[in-house]
Amino acid sequence: MTNINTKEYKVIGLMSGTSLDGLDIAYCRFVIDQSTWTYDLIHAETIPYSEEWKEKLVQLESIDAMSFQQANIDYGFYLGQRVSDFIVKNNIKADFVSSHGHTIFHQPEKKLTVQIGAGSAIASKCKLPVVCDFRSLDVALSGQGAPLVPIGDKLLFGEYDICLNLGGFANVSYEFNNQRIAYDICPVNIVLNEICSRIGKPYDENGELARAGLQSYYLLNELNQLAHYKQILNTPKSLGKEWVLKNVYPLIDLYELSESDVLCTYCEHVAIQVAKQLNNLPNGKILVTGGGTYNTYLMERMKALCKHQFIIPEKTTIEFKEALIFAFLGVLRLRNEVNCLKSVTGSLMDNCGGSVYAFL
């Protein structure tokens, strides 16, 4: 096993987002010199889910307990096999695997968060130590259990003033008064992709469907009036799929709009909410990552409303920054160092989350 005295770590990070695009897998190298971390993202790919796995993951929140636990084990073996295949394909050696899992439930107000993908099954399949279940400790400590990426933003991407990720949800991270502040802003791809699926498309390529639509003032106004957006700025807050199902889709379905009009309106909603948060900060450089970066129309609307300089990195960082950082969270866990910040989650204390499955 890797220990705290190690200066170099070679890790496979696994990430599965709410948009169900597939499994992100990244082989990363981390080096610490004094107190400064550097990284290399050496190999990375997204493995699309089969229709069978997509359907299974979507339905997991409503099945019986025995079936749920079986799916947790099955998904763990699935992840372990994907890791094994990835290792062979790229002819690599890794110290361990760091897995986010796939979130099924996230209700921190009930001290409940569940990411499936049993670490024991992953480890047994790929014969490597595994770190997983990163959110549970923070939630038990009255934190939101999210977002977890900001510690990686701080230690790996500190040259940027702001880190903005546009994935299933938009989340932001930055330094303020010598502490890291981060929170979810609003849903993004989880909504945009759902609207596209209604017309048989996986996503809105380059935002062209949104560009062709017209904004609905009434829907836009109702979206912007949701209670979540009235919370005090810069305070710990996170969003989950349950919130979207309860608050966003019912509003959209009230209006008989074309999919293009909904996409256009929703992109404007995202741009407004992002600008509302970021324009309160001093002018700076924003690193933008996540699948939403490829939505040209959405990016245009955000740039039009925000005063900051947007930096779009190379493709690998755009697509695999979260998998990279979850690999890094595993490094911090094995070093017994803080990998979850109370300033971000609202937890009672900084903590070092993650369950470890290791071979002696």
Backbone torsions φ then ψ of 96, nearest 5 degrees: -165, 175
Give the pLDDT of residue 235: 62
Which tokens hold the place of 74? 């099955």
In CATH, what class is 162-307?
alpha beta
**Average pLDDT score, the chain:** 94
Alpha carbon separation from 62 to 57, 70, 87, 135 (Å, rounded) = 10, 14, 34, 21
Q: For position 63, what pLDDT does the model report?
A: 95
* Percent of the chain surpassing pLDDT 90: 86
SS (H, E, C) 217-240: HHHHHHHHCCHHHHCCCCCCCCCC
pLDDT of residue 184: 87
pTM of the model: 0.88
Sign of CA dihedral 348, 354, 355, 358: negative
Do the domains spanning 8-145+330-357 and 162-307 agree at the CATH topology level?
yes
User: Do 11 and 287 touch, CB atoms closer than 8 A?
Assistant: no
Instruction: Give domain limits for the chain.
Output: 8-145+330-357, 162-307
Instruction: Tell which CATH classification among 3.30.420.40, 3.40.50.2000, 3.30.70.260, 3.30.230.10 matches the domain 8-145+330-357.
Output: 3.30.420.40
pLDDT at 3: 52
Q: What confidence tens digit (pLDDT) does each residue in 61-84 have?
A: 999 999 999 999 999 999 999 999
Strand pairing of 179-187 and 169-176?
Answer: antiparallel
Please state whether the peptide bond connecting residue 147 to the residue before it is cis, i.e. omega within 30 degrees of 0.
yes
**pLDDT at res. 231:** 75
Taking residues 266-280, what's their average pLDDT? 96
Report the 10 Å Cβ neighbour count for 310: 15
- 209-268 pLDDT, tens digit per residue, is 999 999 999 999 999 999 888 876 656 677 888 899 999 999 999 999 999 999 999 999
pLDDT at 4: 55
Question: Exposure of 98 by Cβ count < 10 A (0-12 exposed, 13-18 middle, 19+ buried)?
Answer: buried
- The yes-or-no verdict on residue 5 having pLDDT over 80 is no
Q: Edge-to-edge strands of the sheet including 169-176?
A: 179-187, 169-176, 162-166, 285-289, 309-311
